[in-house]
């Protein structure tokens, strides 16, 4: 994804989408491709009305978005809610899940995804997701935080859905020429604008 994709000129469409997210948020999710069965899960910090909250995020081996969940707490209930949501949104039960060493993940994975799912804990293996957090962090930083949890949750989901939809999708270590990426981006941009117009 080019750094210029979500500059200030893109802030209005993202805000428009986030305002309609409760009604139209499933539109881009329905247009997703199938996600892989190897998930990378982590949470990052966001400041909301002066206090730190958490954004749970997951991507697959190819960098495709699995799911996003905003939570005011980092605990067992939040982890379970995240895996429940991810399974419902994707319709996929992963073969393996890579996380950091937080205590809530093993039990949440067993209860929500099943005992047959392999759980790995490795900061090194989760680097791809740590890097992927930069997308929402880069947009959230200039905004100087959020005023309320509801707006934070709505914006973060909308932003990640848009970012995932507009990114160049490819298999791991599969090269896509620049002209093909550009054409894909333009086509997907037109789709997003059409969805916004219809919302």
Q: Does 22 score more than 70 pLDDT?
A: no
- % of the chain residues with pLDDT over 70: 71
Question: Are 20 and 199 spatial neighbours (Cβ–Cβ below 8 Å)?
Answer: yes
Kindly give, in sequence order, each residue whose CB lies less than 8 Å from that of residue 17, ignoring residues fewer than 6 positions away.
24, 158, 161, 162, 192, 195, 196, 199
What confidence tens digit (pLDDT) does each residue in 62-94 have? 888 999 999 999 999 999 999 999 999 899 999
What confidence tens digit (pLDDT) does each residue in 152-180 have? 888 888 888 888 877 766 565 667 777 77
Taking the chain, what is the end-to-end CA distance rounded to the nearest angstrom? 26
Q: Does 143 score more than 70 pLDDT?
A: no
d(CA 185, CA 46): 29
Q: Where are the domains of the chain?
A: 3-198
Q: Does 12 score more than 80 pLDDT?
A: no
d(CA 86, CA 67): 5
| Overall fold of domain 3-198 | Nucleotidyltransferase; domain 5 (3.30.420)
Question: Are 62 and 35 spatial neighbours (Cβ–Cβ below 8 Å)?
Answer: no
Please state the pTM of the whole predicted model.
Answer: 0.75
């Amino acid at each position: 994804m080019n750094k210029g994709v979500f500059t200030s000129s893109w802030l209005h469409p993202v805000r428009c989408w986030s305002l309609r997210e409760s009604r139209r948020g499933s539109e881009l999710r329905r247009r997703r491709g199938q996600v892989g069965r190897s998930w990378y899960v982590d949470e990052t910090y966001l400041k909301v009305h002066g206090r730190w909250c958490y954004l749970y995020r997951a991507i697959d081996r190819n960098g495709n978005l699995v799911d996003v969940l905003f939570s005011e707490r980092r605990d067992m209930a939040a982890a379970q809610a995240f895996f429940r949501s991810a399974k419902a949104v994707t319709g996929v039960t992963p073969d393996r899940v890579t996380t950091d060493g937080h205590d809530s993940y093993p039990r949440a994975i067993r209860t929500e995804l099943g005992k047959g799912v392999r759980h790995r804990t490795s900061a090194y293996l989760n680097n791809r997701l740590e890097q992927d957090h930069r997308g929402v962090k880069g947009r959230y930083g200039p905004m100087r935080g959020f005023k309320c949890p509801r707006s934070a949750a709505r914006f973060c989901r909308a932003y990640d859905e848009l970012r995932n939809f507009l990114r160049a999708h490819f298999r791991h270590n599969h090269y896509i020429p620049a002209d093909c990426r550009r054409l894909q981006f333009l086509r997907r941009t037109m789709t997003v604008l059409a969805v916004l117009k219809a919302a």
